[in-house]
Structure 1
């Protein structure tokens, strides 16, 4: 706390003096203020990603301008749990930053597991409930671990190939393959476009089926619809009146149908 206060006090003095005349700040004063405002090193116990922690640690070393001795001290204090065993197993005369980083790389790094990740990559395809974006993230995770010793160009080629080969939809896979993409980003954008077009096409076809005024199959078979039935009024062939059929004709039942009607009935029968 006293160091931070001293640092901020010196900075304020420098700002006031700069208003009067230019002043050169010594390298020792700059280093002192930088170390006072250093960033904390995250903790590592072996259960989280060593690759991610290593990247964070190297970034802090560069930002804080630590030398090997300061970096070794900071890394030692950051270790927790099983990760401390790596420090304990170092020989007393070989406890250096380089040896400690090598020990952690050997135990928690992914370089010696490349064949394992390649086997996982061969057996992995896009799952039914997995979106294209999720599939792309999973492919990148596996490929970058399976080909850590390869050049960035080779890794990118394998990224594109693995992404396309693992696509669940055969039509999307064939279309994207014809694009001859050079990057995973380009291949994924093409796959998303093809999927969107297909979805829009399916929606359009469903809309046409629902809205289409074509004759229904039951009407083609001669089945009269309910609306047609409500408009139909039967005509009696006996008396010529509407509202009933000949078999239900009241005049026929009463025997009052005239001769002309009887003749018509006989001719019809």
Structure 2
């Protein structure tokens, strides 16, 4: 029983060993199979990785090639753009050079034309001057004796007329002297009274100057700022004000519209006299209106009813306002030119042009003498009516002075009598005593003078 059990046990063990062996073989085969499958998976994974790496490498290579291609295209576009810009710049410089050459050529042509035009004008002026000189020499040689005869006749006529005027004037002077004596007495009394008032005023003013209390009139912007500035600086000098005192006094003197300047002027500039004066000059001054005054001066002519003294004074005023910084000689030349061009009387204008004055005052004196001589050559009745006294008034003294002045001018005109034209009888030019009926050269001489004046202006430009 024990042996049989032992034998069974050995058999079972043997079977079990065989089964174990088979199981181990199966496990080994499974393990081997699993290892083979795992190796196969690893190989496949490695293959996929290699394929992926190869694909990525190809993609990277392709991307690099595309990027390189883009860079090359960009470089080509940049080179093309640079080439295009260079061509455009060359084209622009070439066009600019062409325009410069054309402009220089045009300027040279204009300059040549101007030079040619000036030469023609100068030649024409010399020819006209030679022609005028020849005419004057011919007239001087031809009419010397006849002018002397005419002057003698004129002197006789003037002496006779002066004698008649002297008689009338003596009669009127005798009548006026009585009134003048009464006026003289009244005038002396008034003069004494005014001297007394003036002494009192002078005493009061000297006291104010010593105490520094010279007062100023207010400035409201309606009066002339330049005139007010002169009065203000004179008062400031009398009161010994410094710049701050001047600024304070000027602030207190403003009235009306002029007060509005304080709204736009900064506070620090209100105590600065120079800045204060600059702001007022900018608003109420007339220095910035020089162009307006220049246009007024160019268009200024003698008005109807305006005497020569008023016209000359206004011309000089406009000249100083239009050219405030100009030299004195320039003022004289401009004023004389405007005065001569603006005179209404054609004969007087021609006489002034022939005289060629260099100062407006000299031209005014010549014009007054010309008018006095012209008035003296009128009929006696007209002259007597011009000096008739309507009634004894306070203006008799002025009238007496005017009569005396007129008498002196008549006496001067006797020695400075000017010859008349032998054809038309007008003063200021001479006619040719030819047998044929020719017109006087009055208008022709005036036209020649105008052309000569125009040529001089063109030459000066």
TM over 0.5: same fold?
yes
Measured in 2, the distance between the counterparts of 1:155 and 1:108 equals 24
Measured in 1, the distance between the counterparts of 2:235 and 2:358 equals 34
Contact 1:157 1:183 in 2 (8 A): yes
Specify the alignment match of 1:180 in structure 2: 356
1:47 has 2:47 as partner: no
**Aligned partner (choices 211, 215, 225) of residue 36 of structure 1:** 211
Contact 2:301 2:343 in 1 (8 A): yes
Specify the alignment match of 2:377 in structure 1: 201
1:141 has 2:317 as partner: yes
1:62/1:206 CA distance change after superposition, 3 Å? closer
Measured in 1, the distance between the counterparts of 2:223 and 2:309 equals 24
Contact 1:34 1:64 in 2 (8 A): yes
Report the count of equivalent residues: 176
Higher helix share: 2
**Aligned partner (choices 126, 151, 167) of residue 327 of structure 2:** 151
Cα-Cα RMSD: 2.3
Measured in 2, the distance between the counterparts of 1:64 and 1:179 equals 51
Shift of 1:129: 0.7
1:83 has 2:251 as partner: no
Shift of 1:205: 10
1:182/1:43 CA distance change after superposition, 3 Å? farther
Deviates more, 1:161-170 or 1:34-43: 34-43
Shift of 1:93: 2.0
Equivalences for 1:126-137 in 2 at 5 Å?
Answer: 126-137=302-313
1:123/1:33 CA distance change after superposition, 3 Å? closer
Structure 2 unaligned regions, length at least 5: 1-206, 384-461
Deviates more, 1:181-190 or 1:115-124: 181-190
**Aligned partner (choices 340, 358, 368) of residue 164 of structure 1:** 340
Measured in 1, the distance between the counterparts of 2:377 and 2:354 equals 21
Shift of 1:79: 1.1
Structure 1 unaligned regions, length at least 5: 1-31, 208-269
Shift of 1:104: 0.8
Measured in 2, the distance between the counterparts of 1:57 and 1:48 equals 13
Shift of 1:204: 5.6
Which has the larger Rg? 2
Higher relative contact order (Cα pairs below 8 Å, separated by 6+ residues): 2
SS at structure 2 position matched to 1:82: helix
Shift of 1:91: 0.8
Measured in 2, the distance between the counterparts of 1:146 and 1:116 equals 8
Shift of 1:47: 0.8
